[in-house]
A and B are shown apart, each in its own frame.
Chain A
Amino acid sequence: MKIRLIDIAHARSGDKGDTGNVGVIALRKEHYPLLVKYLTVDRVKKHFEGIALGGVERYELPNLWALNFLLHEVLGGGGTRSLKNDAQGKTLSSAMLRMELEIDETITLKG
């Protein structure tokens, strides 16, 4: 089935230099394995094509049902150098949550 990431996760993003970090957290514990399985570095890299110009790194935090992504060269130089409206990467979190995922599993979404 096709799901939107926003239906199974919440997120927060921030900046360090020209790198943005996006923490993606499963809304329910049983959805964390879906994040691990489907929210791969390659998929995230493709999603942020033309936005994150450098590499993408992924870290797992099973204790928080969360993944942490580092998106390099994503802030137009970062800090005060950036000409971006979102120079601090505050909205990278919601940009991540726009992603759609095709999953093998069938899951029940609330509402």
Chain B
Amino acid sequence: MKQSIRIASGQGFWGDLLTAPYDQVTKGPVDYMMMDYLAEVTMSIMQKQRRKDPSLGYARDLVPLMKRILPIITEKNIRVITNGGGVNPLACRDAIFEVAKQLGIKGLKIGVVLGDDILSSLDALADQGIPLDNMETGEKLAGVRDQMMSANIYFGAWPVVEALEKGAQVVITGRTTDTGLTLAPMIHEFGWKPDDWDLIAAGTVAGHILECGGQASGGNFSGDWRAVPDLAHIGFPIAEAKPSGEIVITKHEGTGGLVSVQTVKEQLLYEIGDPSNYITPDCIADFTSIQLAEDGPDRVRVYGVKGRPATEFYKVSMSYLDGYTAIGTLTYAWPDALDKAKAADAILRTRLKDIGLSFDEIRTEFVGHNSCHGPLVGEPGDLNEVVLRIGVRGNEYADVQRFGMELAPLILTGPPAVTGFAGGRPKPSEVIAYWPALMPKSAVKPEVVVESL
């Protein structure tokens, strides 16, 4: 058994820094690299893409990225784990196999985790007595059943472990948890058992630290942010894991950014609820047990993590179509920039009313004044410029589209010193609403397929 492995974070979301994965596999030693691509609404975007073209529905960035790093990871034997397969992990695999073929790479083994996509079996599940009602609001699925656009079970680390055990060098999943991508190689290398709850929780905590990429290594740091060196060349975080469950968070030498107790703390607190009950498919981790200590420059030791048994349920992430929004902006310049923007807002609202458009919500914000902190900002002085940002949401596509035509006329028919309309009319975009649900683990079995080129 290896006494230590290094797991690198390569991407924290779909759209993250494209150079980061390459840097992670070239600027120092790593054994594994995990890349998280999925957020709550990402799956529905991918479903939409797959409906238009059955060969799509995954994070397309992965293909050119893998082309760049495949020669390196095969030479260095670095294993890559990613949930970028989205709603079409097999097509993602085939695209990567194609790239490997072009590069003349032989014998590449890719593992795929399947079975999380249950969109086509919602009715069958309902017949089995699994209602998938909204776990937060208690609403019945039947009310939105016809608008459902995606439904994916959050699988944990274990299907990925199976793929690693079958020799996959690259593992592509659909809706596997962000934390599972980091935990899986630890289980695989160190032989942890499903009920080694403290160890599983330690790996899960490491996964939470890695899952947002640079946000653990100095990015978006609210402490002394000016003191974070060279963010232009930020090194993404790396977890050094030991069989005992002790983790060191670090980054490659010579890269920018900062790994400190403070940067790690901020990431630990990112998007959590009750810290004593951090629930994943693999365990319940207790974040109030986590101990941190500086362990040299850009090294933070994470230890003492306690875990409890996993629940009997998988979380299911579903999304449905729920109307349309459009958002437009205009920029007003000094003098009286804020007053002008407010007057323009009033004129626009009157016109919308006169035409008889109906919306569920119209929201106005003044960027440069209150769009972030709302009523906390107090009265400003005479601002140099203000961006009027106005958005509407409604069920009628035509009304939302019509709103978009009312913005530009304000330039010639409203208050003066206005600009910033280069982008054209705001277009309606679909509202993809989120529907979280639970289902018994016993009702589904993940499938793992490992094939070589």
Contact = CB atoms under 8 A, between A and B. Distances in A.
Given A12-B220, A64-B290, A85-B389, A21 B433 contact: no
Given A63-B288, A63-B291, A80-B325, A94 B268 contact: no
Interface size bucket, A side?
35 or more
B266 A50 contact: no
Given A21-B269, A85-B371, A90-B220, 5 more contacts: A10-B222, A10-B262, A59-B275, A70-B273, A85-B367
Contacts, number: 126
A25 B265 contact: yes
Interface in B183-234: 220-223
A11 B222 contact: yes
B273 A95 contact: no
Nearest to A10: B223
A86 B376 CA distance: 15
Contact of A27 (B223, B269, B275): B223
Contact of B433 (A15, A70, A80, A90): A80
A66 B361 contact: no
B271 interface: yes
Is chain B's interface secondary structure helix, strand, loop, or mixed overall?
mixed
A16 B40 CA distance: 9
B269 A64 contact: yes
Contacts of B288: 60-63
Interface size bucket, B side?
35 or more
A107 interface: no
B377 to A, nearest CB: 9
B287 interface: yes
A10 B327 CA distance: 32
A65 B262 CA distance: 10
B287 A61 contact: yes
Contact of A51 (B273, B363, B375): B375
Contacts of A66: 265, 269
A43 to B, nearest CB: 14
Contact of B374 (A11, A14, A51, A79): A51
Interface string B4-36: 000000000000000000000000000000000
A97 interface: yes
